[in-house]
Amino acid sequence: MKESNTKYLFFTGKGGVGKTSLACATAVELADQGKNVLLVSTDPASNLKDVLESPVTETIAPIAGIKNLFAININPENSAEAYRNRVTQPLEGVASEQEITKIREDLSGACTTEIASFDEFSRFVSGETEGTKFDVILFDTAPTGHTLRLLELPAAWSSFTEENPDGASCLGPTTALKSGKERYNTVVNRLKNAALTSFYIVARPDKASLKEASRTSTELNELGMQQQLLYINGVFKAMDASDQLAKSIEKLGAEQLNALPENLKSLPLTTFPLLPFNVLGIEKLRSLFSYELQKKISVRKSAQQNNTHPSLNGIETLAEKLCENQQHGLIMTMGKGGVGKTLAASALAVLLAQKGLEVLLTTTDPAAHIQGFMEQLGELPPTLTVERIDPKAETQKYTQKILEHKGKGRSEADKKLILEDLKSPCTEEVAVFHAFSKAISMAKRKFVVMDTAPTGHTLLLLDTAGSYHRDIMRNNLNAGRMRTPYMALQDPELSKIVLVSLPETTPMREAAALQGDLERAGIKPYAWLINQSLSMVPGITDPLLKNRAAAENQVVDTIKEKYAENTFGIPFIAESKLLPAIFQTHEK
């Protein structure tokens, strides 16, 4: 491994790239070297106990089967709930139940959860408590730039947040944080100190993952956190030269590695191979840094290989179901970045339009991937219309409006805090939802396919704020017949949400968390769509790919048993033009 020789190691990257496996493998490697190591996870969908095959709780405990390694799993949801309770407790008996509900929902976004987690794990970096007895502390999941910028603002620590409940919804009153301003200054300064802290940016050899890695690197540099290393996981080498899929996957991966974003080229790089087994347990974690051990385990796994494949209906069957006895409706694809929701939305829109149905495909995708997919087809079906909502423009308009309202009569420091608070992910979702509302109304006349839907938190935020639901109901004389956008999304006859995931544990857990978020807002997803499924590809002969296909069984079975009433799949496609390839696969 490329060692950084710093005390604090942060692992960051998109869901499903393998950062937990690499953080654990690095921790094992350092412990094997005789160092006293602590591994800290703040991942809401943490599978640390599965990867380490040892109990991991919210208190520091030794890991079974290895000396010198300890771990703790800070559950960010629990931290966030405790934080919300500390904020709202003093208001009980003073504020109305409705006002308290609104404050709690304001503090239910991703950024609040992250700040609450940061509040918890800052004690390990500050050097005041448990952190002092370890040589190295690894963090599985690094804080985002938004969190760090917010906590660096002097206004965040002034009485402004306590006096102005309409101010920083993201942060809430700083009195509710366990740690004080001095500790945060110490922590942020240590994160910037290259002699103390290193950031491991984890990616896969694919365009979306490397683009995210590039953005993360830029953001860290802007914050003065320049001690960065690049880990690229899952690099595939074909074992059977006659397997066309294997050859195509290897070629595409090599092309992406040769076209690394400029700012990543200067970082120390370590690549890790795609393995034919799930990295669970100390031996397999050690294998990440040992080719000999990888070979030994692979031979053993091949002998145990189970060739049964889960049966998944394709995306064309999903399209059939969506228009069964229906000429119109709202279809939304949801999922974490990099799972293929834009591809799914594009394919569903084209499949519906090919049936002669009127379809509007709308997206908030800032990278305009939809346009790229449509260009791959050459000619669009005549009944398909494609439009794009510019999230930057919508957010700018919304931010300006809020800033004018909340910043009136405030100091420049206070305005800066409001502006940083408005950089939270939910601000963009709320802004875009206003633009989406027009498209939602069209779903009564035609099929509207939306790439990227608002989360349950955004919908509840709009509802508790009253801006889109109660105000319309209260101010309209025909309220009994009114249907707000929020009500339209709750109508299972009109609206159908398709959750997109990969056939891997982390993306599955992240999609399940999104499902829980939506159900909290009274919306039940219609179906799950599993993208990049090797088990759907017939005739695989490459031993590594056969093992990977067999390993999907457990994930697919879990999705079917625990989360989805309707489950569909898109086979793994190793082509640069994905959309035409989906339809070719369907036609075969």
Q: Would 459 be classed as within a structural domain?
A: yes
pLDDT tens digit string along 422-463?
A: 776 667 777 777 777 777 888 889 999 988 756 665 666 555
Least confident residue range of 64-73, 150-159, 247-256, 332-341: 150-159
In this structure, the answer to whether residues 135 and 249 fall within a common structural domain is yes
Say whether 234 is catalytic.
Answer: no
**For tokens 């995210």, what's the residue?**
212
In this structure, the answer to whether residues 366 and 462 fall within a common structural domain is yes
In this structure, the answer to whether residues 346 and 381 fall within a common structural domain is yes
What is the 3-class SS of 285-342, one letter each residue?
Answer: HHHCCCHHHHHHHHHHHHHCCCCCCCCCEEHHHHHHHHCCCCCCEEEEEECCCCCCHH
* Predicted confidence (pLDDT) at residue 487 exceeds the cutoff of 50: yes
Radius of gyration of the chain (CA): 24
Choosing from 147, 342, 495, 506, which is the catalytic residue? 506
Count: domains in the chain: 2
pLDDT tens digit string along 113-148?
A: 777 888 887 888 887 666 678 999 999 877 776 667
In this structure, the answer to whether residues 356 and 260 fall within a common structural domain is no
* Predicted confidence (pLDDT) at residue 245 exceeds the cutoff of 60: yes
Q: Are 176 and 83 in contact (CB under 8 A)?
A: yes
DSSP assignment of 208-226: HHHHHHHHHHHHHHHTT--
Q: Are 473 and 484 in contact (CB under 8 A)?
A: yes
Chosen domain end from 303, 326, 357: 303
Q: Would 308 be classed as within a structural domain?
A: no
Choosing from 6, 12, 13, 18, which is the catalytic residue? 18
Q: Would 3 be classed as within a structural domain?
A: no
Say whether 166 is catalytic.
Answer: no
* Predicted confidence (pLDDT) at residue 277 exceeds the cutoff of 60: yes
In this structure, the answer to whether residues 69 and 213 fall within a common structural domain is yes
Choosing from 7, 14, 19, 336, which is the catalytic residue? 19
Say whether 237 is catalytic.
Answer: no
Say whether 451 is catalytic.
Answer: no
Say whether 140 is catalytic.
Answer: no
In this structure, the answer to whether residues 351 and 491 fall within a common structural domain is yes
Q: For residue 380, what are the domain limits?
A: 313-587
Choosing from 4, 21, 174, 346, which is the catalytic residue? 21
How many CB atoms are located within 10 Å of the residue 403 CB?
15
* Predicted confidence (pLDDT) at residue 110 exceeds the cutoff of 50: yes
Q: Would 126 be classed as within a structural domain?
A: yes
pLDDT tens digit string along 12-29?
A: 887 778 888 999 999 999
Say whether 119 is catalytic.
Answer: no
Say whether 19 is catalytic.
Answer: yes
Chosen domain end from 269, 303, 337: 303
Q: What is the CATH number of the domain that holds 116?
A: 3.40.50.300
Mean pLDDT, residues 180-196? 85
In this structure, the answer to whether residues 233 and 331 fall within a common structural domain is no
Choosing from 12, 20, 42, 535, which is the catalytic residue? 20
In this structure, the answer to whether residues 99 and 237 fall within a common structural domain is yes
In this structure, the answer to whether residues 12 and 55 fall within a common structural domain is yes
Q: Would 2 be classed as within a structural domain?
A: no
In this structure, the answer to whether residues 282 and 327 fall within a common structural domain is no
In this structure, the answer to whether residues 431 and 578 fall within a common structural domain is yes
In this structure, the answer to whether residues 460 and 439 fall within a common structural domain is yes
Chosen domain end from 273, 303, 333: 303
Q: Would 1 be classed as within a structural domain?
A: no
